[in-house]
Structure 1
């Protein structure tokens, strides 16, 4: 009777820990040490449970990595897009998206950690999917400002490049960026974004022959 109760209690603990709990723990491990840091026993210790809880939700480690990457996509891409969509003005939408994305990437090294392991097949697939989604959404926002589709796509890619470059520098060599004090960093990022959002006022001329 006692053994049956103990077995039931263990099963209840496993059931209370959700697959999302494991995915979030795996993301925390990736944030700290890349995909190689996703290991079942250390994650079980982090969650205060046993490996049995892991196998209650996942067939193997690859399934957990996929769940973690899906979670990253939902939080950092789809969740952010949903929040930004509440802003009716396209220009303000771009400013808000850019500001929030840069602030998040500066505070959270997860995107940088994933970029560092982008050759991993599962990460590569998720990174490609997320990048295409983000650039496509940015392109839609620039198109909302009146840019033709090819130009909107080009500016979206430039904006995303600025975001990634800033995120990388912010974690690797923060000293090369303008300081946050006095608003210098905000002014620098705002200037870069406004340049991307400004439409040419006059005809463009082809480069002169040399």
Structure 2
């Protein structure tokens, strides 16, 4: 007896069938919740499942517990921050002022639009959060310090001091813009104006003076 084998094509996916969630989907949803609520307490399994239209079973397919999800979310934010910084630093063909503005835009400009870093700073008492913040911020300050030294031939200590001062100023401005926007002048809400001011501050100059 001869058996005839027929090739069976995969069953087509039903129209409207739900896409299988990935670990990255859950991690990004955790960051969304953190941004919305401003606290790690917003990262909870059942509310996230509802946000994603998923079940708790989907969560446990990817993560053993809530701590593992928080670690994945932090790792995702750190990787994205590092990638954006690398891209900003790599625009070496631009003049120093343009490179400096792009670097500042990456370091602090996003804080005016994306509250992730501000929310994480509020949770810096958590060791896992503090460790990630320290790595990300240190890389940013290193890059800005190196640019200042190359542009102005500043000593390491002076360049680092200027970088740190401007970084703190921009984060503080972003925090006020979100929390109590009425205390800031209108110009402080314009990103390009803020970047100009920050770059001049880094150079130790005032607006309107020649710059490299």
- Which band: TM-score by shorter chain? 0.7 to 0.9
Q: Select which of 106, 112, 115 maps to 2:118.
A: 112
Q: Tell me if the contact between 2:111 and 2:117 (Cα under 8 Å) persists in the aligned partners.
A: yes
Asked whether 1:78 is paired with 2:82, we answer: yes
- What are the superposed Cα offsets for residues 63-115 of structure 1, whole Å, 9 maximum, x if unpaired? 1101101111122x212213212321443221112134443211222211111
Q: CA deviation at 1:31?
A: 0.7
Asked whether 1:51 is paired with 2:52, we answer: no
| CA–CA distance in structure 2, aligned partners of residues 85 and 130 of structure 1 | 14
The equivalent residue for 1:18 is: 22
Q: Select which of 32, 57, 81 maps to 2:36.
A: 32
Q: Tell me if the contact between 1:40 and 1:54 (Cα under 8 Å) persists in the aligned partners.
A: yes
Is the radius of gyration larger for structure 1 or structure 2?
2
Q: Select which of 172, 177, 181 maps to 1:174.
A: 181
The equivalent residue for 2:101 is: 95
| CA–CA distance in structure 1, aligned partners of residues 85 and 106 of structure 2 | 11
Q: Tell me if the contact between 1:25 and 1:47 (Cα under 8 Å) persists in the aligned partners.
A: yes
| CA–CA distance in structure 2, aligned partners of residues 58 and 174 of structure 1 | 39
The equivalent residue for 1:164 is: 171
Q: CA deviation at 1:178?
A: 2.4
In the alignment, structure 1 segments of 5+ residues that lack a partner are 1-8, 200-210
Q: Tell me if the contact between 1:178 and 1:188 (Cα under 8 Å) persists in the aligned partners.
A: no
Q: Select which of 119, 124, 128 maps to 1:122.
A: 128
Give the number of the structure whose residues are more often helix, by fraction: 1
